[in-house]
Amino acid sequence: MLRLLLLVGVVLLLMLVLFRTDWYITALLLFLLVLFLLYDLVHFVERTNRDISSFLQSIRHSDFTQRFATEGANASYRELYQSFNSISEAFLQVKTEKQAHYHYLQAVVEQVGVGILSFDEEGEVQLVNHVTKELLHVPHLRHIDALERVSPELVQALYSIRPNEKRLVTLQSNVEPVLLNLNANELQLQGQLVKIVTLQNIQTELEEQELQTWQKVIRVLTHEIMNSVTPVVSLTSTLNNLLEQEVVQPLAAGKSINEEVLEDMQAGLQTIEKRSAGMLHFVKNYRRLMRLPASELKPVRIAALLRNVHLLLKQQAEEQRMRLKIFLPDERTEVLADAEQLEQVLINLIKNAMEASVGKKNASVEVVAYAPEGERDRLRIDVTDNGPGIPDDVLDKIFIPFYTTKKQGSGIGLSLSKQIMRQHGGSIRVKTQPGETTFTLMLKRPGG
């Protein structure tokens, strides 16, 4: 107001000088003064505009660190700058709280043992925890489409899964297949639809449940076997009575023994013998499976172990006219294992492979041990034969205790091998096709 009043006053004075006097120099000076006052007024107004524009730009770019100096400013500017500073501090406080909440949420999410992945409708990833990265073997993830190289099926499931829906997706990797359970939910976040998906590896839980189930089955079978002893006992009692009545008493009376009675007794004894031998064989196999000693894991040099296995089976392979090739890793390569149990597993797998290939022209069995790419803390052993392959209706039963397709097989070899590998913290997998079958062992290495 003072600038405006002063400007009006000088303009009036200039007009008075021009119309009432001949003071041209004074009029020129007054005119220059008017120009200066106009410039000062425009600069004053533009300064306010510049300050407001600067403040709004800082708000727009979330820069709440800018401060306006109130020292030395006039009262109106001081009040304006104080307001700007108060607003910036309020926004900064909100931003700080938001960041604190985000870091808190991120810390909580990282502690969860389940994979968490959230993304918008365009596929842009909003949040991902380390469990998800480990499950999918990706160091970082910005867009869902980047998972195409991991599994196109997974990408399709992530886009199409609906809220509260569950999906099972199998990931095929160089190490071992992973069965993921997906569960989704959606929410509106600032007008944008965000999908939150949890990913859980249930492969281990399924295998554990499978093992427990078959242990229950075995207990039931054992119970049934014990029940089957009853008719054997009954037959024994019948034979005992028959022996007393038809043999002992007639001999005591000096009578002859009926040959038909002797034949019946002989048949009964043979039945008891066969049944008892069968049950004894079954129970021995059962005890082997259920009383597997705990694995004593120690660093074992795998090359020496494989060389020993090759020495044990070399003669048998030559007798069957079969090539047995074992490709050894570096001599210093070690795994955490119980040497005797691991040797037992390898011998069982190689013998199975040899039996599958026997009679085939150019029959061969190959054993390869190596560290998978990207998995230097683990060792993979592949046992491959060129036999006919495993039929689909048999493939899902080969690890079931006492299931066998061999006439002389016990049906516990692969089941025992699987149990040993679980005690080692590893796994055993099979991949088959006509003309080739591969059993894969995954083992931990020291420090892994």
The separation between the first and the last C-alpha atoms of the chain, rounded to the nearest angstrom, is 79
pLDDT digits (tens, 9 = 90+) for 43-61: 777 777 777 888 788 877 7
What are the CA-CA distances from residue 273 to residues 189, 224, 277, 279, 407 (Å)?
77, 19, 6, 10, 20
Architecture of the domain spanning 298-444: 2-Layer Sandwich (3.30)
Pairwise CA distance, residues 251 & 35, whole Å:
154
Per-residue model confidence (pLDDT) at position 291: 62
Q: Are 115 and 198 in contact (CB under 8 A)?
A: yes
Per-residue model confidence (pLDDT) at position 301: 92
Per-residue model confidence (pLDDT) at position 383: 94
Query: For 62, what's the count of Cα atoms within 13 Å in the CB-facing half-sphere?
Result: 6
Q: Are 4 and 42 in contact (CB under 8 A)?
A: no
Pairwise CA distance, residues 325 & 284, whole Å:
33
Q: What percent of the chain has pLDDT over 70?
A: 85
Per-residue model confidence (pLDDT) at position 380: 92
pTM for the whole thing? 0.47
195: how many CB neighbours lie within 10 A of its CB? 21
Per-residue model confidence (pLDDT) at position 287: 63
Burial of 179 (0-12, 13-18, 19+ CB in 10 A): middle
Fold type of domain 112-201: Beta-Lactamase (3.30.450)
The region, left, alpha or beta by phi > 0 then psi within -120 to 50, assigned to residue 251 is alpha
Point out the residues of the chain with pLDDT beneath 70. 72-76, 173-176, 204-206, 209, 213-214, 216-231, 274-275, 278-293, 400-412, 448
- The vertex-377 CA angle with 169 and 113, nearest 5°, equals 45
Pairwise CA distance, residues 412 & 417, whole Å:
8
Amino acid present at 390: I
Residues in contact with 104: Cβ distance below 8 Å, sequence separation at least 6, in sequence order = none
404 φ/ψ angles, rounded to the nearest 5 degrees: -155, 150
Which residues in 241-257 are b (16+ Cβ under 10 Å) and which e?
eeeeebeeeeeeeeeee
Task: Name the token pair of 231.
Answer: 């008719």
Task: Name the token pair of 6.
Answer: 């002063």
Query: For 245, what's the count of Cα atoms within 13 Å in the CB-facing half-sphere?
Result: 8
Task: Name the token pair of 446.
Answer: 């020291």
Beta pairing, strands 427-433 & 334-337: unpaired
17: how many CB neighbours lie within 10 A of its CB? 19
Pairwise CA distance, residues 345 & 439, whole Å:
11
Pairwise CA distance, residues 134 & 281, whole Å:
46
Per-residue model confidence (pLDDT) at position 416: 80
Q: Say how far residue 379 (Cα) sits from the centre of its chain.
A: 18
Identify the H or E element spanning 299: strand 298-301
Per-residue model confidence (pLDDT) at position 384: 93
Per-residue model confidence (pLDDT) at position 359: 76
Which parts of 112-202 fold into alpha helices (H)?
130-136, 152-160
Q: Are 7 and 41 in contact (CB under 8 A)?
A: yes
pLDDT digits (tens, 9 = 90+) for 110-168: 777 788 889 998 889 888 888 888 888 888 889 999 988 888 888 898 999 888 888 88
Q: Say how far residue 409 (Cα) sits from the centre of its chain.
A: 35
Burial of 332 (0-12, 13-18, 19+ CB in 10 A): exposed
